[in-house]
Structure 1
Amino acid sequence: MIATTHSLRRALCGFGIAAVLAAASSPAGAAPALEPTIASLAEYVNAGTVPAADGRTPTAIADTGSASGSSSGSAGSRAYDAVGEGPEMSAYLPAFAYGLLHPDAAPTGANRWDCKPSAQHPRPVVLLHGTWLNAYDTFSYLSPRLAEAGYCVFTLNYGKSGLLEAGGLGAVLPGRYGVGPMVDSSSQVAAFVERVRAATGSDQVDIIGHSQGGTIANHYLKFEGGQDKVGKLVTFGATHHGTSLLGIATLGRMINNAGIDIMGFYRPVIGAANVEQAVGSSFYTSLNATGDTVPGVAYTVVASRYDEVMNPLDLGFLRAGPDATVDNIALQNGCEQDISDHLTMMYSPRAASIALRALDPESSPTLTCTFNPWFFGGGGSL
């Protein structure tokens, strides 16, 4: 879901929640009394802001962040092509650094628009990154392995939204995508899949989604006409039922339900997509109202016991509905030495072998098992 260091993200959200609660409950004389509403909190923050160097004054946005059917409360978001292949990486941290300097780079092997699917692999593979991530820093390890296995691989950077468009602080860093409203991102993915189908002549694609990317894929299947255009969906650490962020999001949602719209208040800080991915949001009520799956699609869902964002594992797993198959996999089952976390699982040899087996079990029947360190990753080695 979220990139950068997880401890910093948790601290930011935690301190923010504490600060607002303290301000709202401070005694008379210590601070101005605040009504427990998003409007009063926004007014309080705006009263202390000063103009930026360009003359504009940032403002808190009085928005609930709970809309699931539109980009209400923001200026929406944009998608960009990933172009110019960057180098293959075996660990997340150097890939993240490269992605900062080359925010729209494509991972090795991806977006070769003259690629024609083979009879063995007739469906091109579309890769979807997560929140505050991009196509390169998510898939610079997996993409070349898919290409080497004979797949046509395509990816995009979706959900770009600026700080003043409710994109959150993550939008300040170069190459931080997947921050805008998820409905907008789903529409961008739908348009991209049509381009891939037209370029390759394929009726269907397979999708591999990491974190929010898996949720966006699910929304595309259910609400953007993707059901008949996707054969297989493979997800890693996907926020299929929302995330608690080690309890922070759950706490925030509980405060929201008590009448203080703290999630809406922090929408400008953490971004629209993060608010929508909190456990219990109306986005998930709508997304999963008719079940977790759609007919005709084969799902492979991978989760890690060491994932800081998607925990417990059941939050990321899916339940099969009519005419759908679901293979829920704990990454450590049969391979305890793989201690990949939310980000480094995309740099795990075992995760890559699971993806290859899910796409074509006959060509890639064997799963790799090797040490992959938490936080650092490293393609099986430091």
Structure 2
Amino acid sequence: MAAKLRLAAASAAVGLLTGICAPGAQAGPQPAVPDRSATESTAAASDIADPGPAWGKNPDGSIPPEGSNDWTCLPAAVHPRPVVLVHGTWGNQNDWDVLAPQLKAEDYCVFSLNYGRDTASVLGALPGMYGTGDIHSSAGELAAFVDRVRTATGAAKVDLVGHSQGALLSRQYLRFAGGAAKVDHLISLAGTNHGSAMRGVATRLPSGSASAGFAAGLTGIGGTAAAQQLVGSDFLRAVNAAGDTDPGISYTVIASTLDDASAPPEATFLQAGPGATVDNVWIQDLCPTDTFDHGTLPQSPTVAYLVKKALDPDYTGNPCPGHN
């Protein structure tokens, strides 16, 4: 039974989650995946369980994005808050290689981090794969990083841009790890704020809890954080129990009609509670031709426009380059 659960989880994690929770496209060449007949399914599952050195995330997150993590940067008066970029599941800070230099060019102090490195899972053990560890622990990593940014820059507060799990993790940090006093604005980019059905995987779990049999197998393949983001998980019930928002925080929630991490896509949206403001935005309302998928959204020109506009309402630019 354990072997069957592992194979089922492998199929779900690699066959389904790669296009749903992975926060960035593989930048380097990937190994070809040969066609296999039904009689070779056991061998295919074995390959997943032992993917070999060719797999992983490239770039591997060891070098920050251009313009990011300049620890001598002092915020300009026009942009007094540093911007901290928070990647998603199975990602690393290089998922921001497109956006970070753009923000730097707009005279922001920009910072990015790798978090959630946990090699206990199959995918988590691969090079460059972060965001697989327990989100509670990752929130502590984000808290320490934000404190380092505030100390270096002298800023009282930062703004956060979180993609996928990065948005959910940021909300955990705001609510349970002291972040609400240190953050002014959270920009949620396709955040798994109310969980992911992962193309039906979540419906196969009795409660969505990471302790359920299937989710336990999923955890072994994709990591604890993947299971914690399933619709109905214990983690999601806890983070959303007191409402979607925290007082004193402004939220911009960016969604794509093409996103299948949230099911339906509008499940990413937040509802404002006392003392908070929320702006829920569809990418396709500004650019109908934007077809960036969940994993590559941080590379979208429309997303870049929306992030800049959220950070600075006076920003002017083209929200849909190439669209007439």
Normalised to the residue count of structure 2, the TM-score between the two structures is 0.81
State whether structure 2 residue 125 is matched by structure 1 residue 192.
Answer: no
Residues 93, 361 of structure 1: alpha-carbon distance in 2 compared, 3 angstrom cutoff: same
Matched residue, 2:92: 134
Look up the SS of the partner of 1:275 in the other structure. Answer: helix
Question: 1:99 and 1:246, CA in 2 relative to 1: closer, same or farther beyond 3 A?
Answer: closer
Task: Mark the CA change 1:350 to 1:170 in structure 2 (over 3 Å): closer, same or farther.
Answer: same
- How far residue 267 of structure 1 moved from its aligned partner, in angstroms, is 1.6
Q: How do 1:208-227 residues align onto structure 2 when only pairs under 5 Å count?
A: 208-227=161-180
Q: Which residue of 1 aligns with 2:105?
A: 148
Instruction: Select between 304-313 and 279-288 the one with higher mean Cα deviation.
Output: 304-313
Instruction: Give a deviation string over 1:2-24, Cα, whole Å, max 9, x none.
Output: xxxxxxx997118999xxxxxxx
Q: Which residue of 2 aligns with 1:293?
A: 245
CA–CA distance in 2 between the matches of 1:96 and 1:143? Answer: 23
What letter corresponds to residue 368 of structure 1 in structure 2? P
Q: 1-side partners of 2:124 and 2:212: how far apart? A: 26
Answer yes or no: is the 8 Å Cα contact 1:253–1:279 preserved in 2.
Answer: no
Match for 1:175 among 128, 133, 141? 128
**SS of alignment partner, residue 307 of structure 2:** helix
Q: Is the 8 A contact 1:310 1:342 kept in 2?
A: no
Contact 1:318–1:326 (CA under 8 A) maintained in structure 2: yes
Residue identity in the other structure for 2:306: I
Query: For the residues of structure 2 that align with 1:14 and 1:200, how far apart are their CA atoms?
Result: 40
Contact 2:26 2:58 in 1 (8 A): no
Letter in structure 1 aligned against 2:282: A
TM-superposed deviation, 1:99: 5.1
After superposition, what is the alpha-carbon deviation per residue over 1:285-343, rounded to whole angstroms, capped at 9, x for unaligned? 11011100001111000111111322312211000001111011111113110111101
Is residue 302 of structure 2 the alignment partner of residue 350 of structure 1? yes
Note if contact 1:253-1:278 (Cα within 8 Å) is conserved in structure 2: no
Give how far 1:96 is off: 8.6
CA distance in 2, matches of 1:355, 1:181: 27
Pick from 94, 100, 104: which aligns with 2:62?
104
Unpaired segments ≥5 residues, structure 1 = 1-8, 18-90, 373-382
Residue-by-residue CA offset, 1:168-199 (whole Å, 9 max, x unaligned): 22123211000000000000000000000000
Instruction: List structure 1 runs of 4+ shifted beyond 3 angstroms.
Output: 14-17, 95-99, 254-257
Which whole-Å CA distance do the structure 2 matches of 1:171 and 1:229 have between them?
30
What is the CA distance between 1:158 and its match in structure 2? 0.2
Structure 2 CA distance for partners of 1:229 and 1:266, relative to 1, 3 Å: same
Contact map agreement 1:246 1:308 (CA 8 A) in 2:
yes
- Name 1:370's counterpart in structure 2: 321
SS in 2 for 1:206: strand
Write the letter of the residue equivalent to 2:87: H
Structure 1 length-normalised TM: 0.69
Alignment length (residue pairs): 283
Shift in alpha-carbon separation, 1:233–1:113, aligned structure 2, 3 A: same
1:267 alignment partner, one of 219, 229, 242: 219
The alpha-carbon deviation at position 254 of structure 1 amounts to 3.3
Q: Which has the larger radius of gyration?
A: 1
The structural deviation recorded for 1:226 is 0.6
Moved more, 100-109 or 176-185: 100-109
Q: Is the 8 A contact 2:196 2:261 kept in 1?
A: yes
Give the structure 1 partner of residue 281 of structure 2.
329
Q: Alignment identity in percent?
A: 40
RMSD: 2.6
User: Which deviates more from structure 2 when the two are superposed, residues 335-344 or residues 263-272?
Assistant: 263-272
Of 196, 199, 205, which aligns to 1:246? 199
**2:27 pairs with one of 94, 113, 125:** 94
Deviation at 1:94, TM superposition (A): 2.6
SS of 2:294's equivalent in the other structure is: coil
- Alpha-carbon deviations, 1:26-75, whole Å to 9, x = none? xxxxxxxxxxxxxxxxxxxxxxxxxxxxxxxxxxxxxxxxxxxxxxxxxx
Are 1:95 and 1:140, in contact at CA under 8 Å, matched by a contact in 2? no
**Mind listing any 5+ residue stretches in structure 2 that lack a counterpart?**
1-7, 17-23, 31-55
The one-letter code sitting in structure 1 at the alignment partner of 2:280 is N
Aligned 1:2-151 pairs, distance under 5 A:
12-13=11-12, 92-94=25-27, 100=58, 102-136=60-94, 138-151=95-108
Hey, what's the Cα distance between the residues in 2 that align with 1:160 and 1:178? Answer: 6
Secondary structure class of the residue paired with 2:245:
coil
Deviation at 1:151, TM superposition (A): 0.3
> Structure 1 92/263 Cα, relative in aligned 2: closer, same or farther at 3 Å?
closer
- Does structure 2 retain, via aligned residues, the 8 Å contact 1:215–1:239? yes
On the 8 A contact 2:13/2:218 being kept in 1, the answer is no
1:196-222, CA deviations, whole angstroms, 9 ceiling, x for partnerless residues?
Answer: 000000000000000000001000000
